[in-house]
Amino acid sequence: MDSGTISKARMSQRYVVLAASVLIQLCLGSVYAWSTFVPALRASYGLSAGRAGLLFGVTIAVFTLTMVWAGRLQETYGPRRVAAVGGLCFGLGYLLASLSAGQFVLILLGIGLMAGAGIGLGYVCPLATCIKWFPEAKGLVTGIAVAGFGGGAILLSEVAEELLSQGWDVLMVFRGIGVVYGAVIVSAAQGLAVPEMPAAGRAGRRATGLREALGERAFWYLAAGMFAGTFGGLLVIGNLKSIGLAAGLESAAAATAVSIFAAGNASGRILWGWVHDRIGRPAIPLSLALLGGGIVALGFAGTSATVWTAAILVGFGFGACFVLYAAEVAALYGPHRVGLIYPGVFLAYGISGLAGPALAGWIYDAGGSYVPGIGIAAVLAFAAAAGTWFFGKSLQKLPSSAASPREPSRRSKP
């Protein structure tokens, strides 16, 4: 750690911030356990596959839209307050869904809108704060901070599957999530704090805000990669249990695939951060190619072992999306600008959240197979791998980090 960036007297505080960040992300990441609830919602309340996918997609879209606003709020009011409000919204959203009696509109309002907004408010605060405390290891610390988001699905999918197997109604499970997870997020938010940063630490090499970044090709390079990677990952995780059942797996084995995906997602976030710190931008096309291979494998899987293997590969490639692009934003624009610019890149994730899960559900409703949707996701991932490889090579010619204390030109281009 550069002692000029963070006072030595406060250096130990960064580990408190990191621990609080992981705990918040662990709770927010429960959204990726969504497919665990889909069969119960369909059986008990007649929810169609298309509507189930739409619910998940709306949650992701609201999450990303709110994150743009939250990125500015946490710079103004601090990450502690914004993350605490996010915890309240998340908890109240699941409580509303638990009182819905299975009505689609109320579940949509509760989980899709309220909890989705809570995730957006809570997600960006730990991420942006950790990068400020650990500027010397942007990739690794980003991976650790968001690994909890991937790991949250492991915890909730296992607990929820056990409760559902014991006869709990799915809405009762939603109530428990609202009370417990909402309280944990609000409590952990109190551990977030921002370090003192000198002017040189704030300056970026390129744009100083999202509006300026929108005019740069580098921004759209990152957004395109984010869309392709998250489209495939969300299409799979939003329907994974149902995909497993369609492949002939028993319910328990299909539910295990969700946990295995989450394990790949969580471990991928840490490992891809480590890879990025060593090889830089080439990690992006590499991750997309691996994701595409995992999606292809899932399309041909027909046994528990093959579905589980494909699930961990897809999860591992998907996890890269939440590390590599944030680390690249920090490298291109400076750690201080992550909270302002990264939410704009993250909007691509919201668009893919609306498109991917619902598309697979509607294709299944129409033709009784998830394979066409899986094929679309694989083609998109491989195309993006090729595109980001060639465009990333041109970016490699640019200076690699934002270290200059001089304010950048508003007309700078990649």
H or E element: which one contains 80?
Answer: helix 79-98
* pLDDT value of residue 208: 63
Question: Of 231, 367, 236, 365, which is closest to residue 301 (Cα–Cα)?
Answer: 236
Specify whether the CB–CB gap between 188 and 126 falls below 8 A: no
Question: Of 146, 164, 154, which is closest to residue 32 (Cα–Cα)?
Answer: 154
Q: What is the tens place of the pLDDT at every residue in 172-220?
A: 999 999 999 999 999 999 999 887 655 444 444 555 677 788 788 888 8
Average confidence (pLDDT) per 10 residues, the chain, 414 residues: 50 83 92 86 86 85 87 88 96 95 93 95 88 78 79 84 91 95 95 70 56 83 92 87 86 86 85 87 93 92 89 93 88 79 86 81 83 91 92 57 36 35
Specify whether the CB–CB gap between 310 and 28 falls below 8 A: no
H or E element: which one contains 247?
Answer: none
**Sign of torsion, CA 168 259 37 345?**
positive
Residue the block writes with tokens 């960040």: 21
**Sign of torsion, CA 47 48 53 59?**
negative
Q: Is 115 left (phi over 0), alpha (psi -120 to 50) or beta?
A: alpha
Set out the domains of the chain in order of their start, with CATH numbers.
12-395 (1.20.1250.20)
pTM score: 0.71
Distances (CA, A) of 3 to 85, 131, 141: 33, 15, 18
Distance from the Cα of residue 120 to its chain's centroid:
10
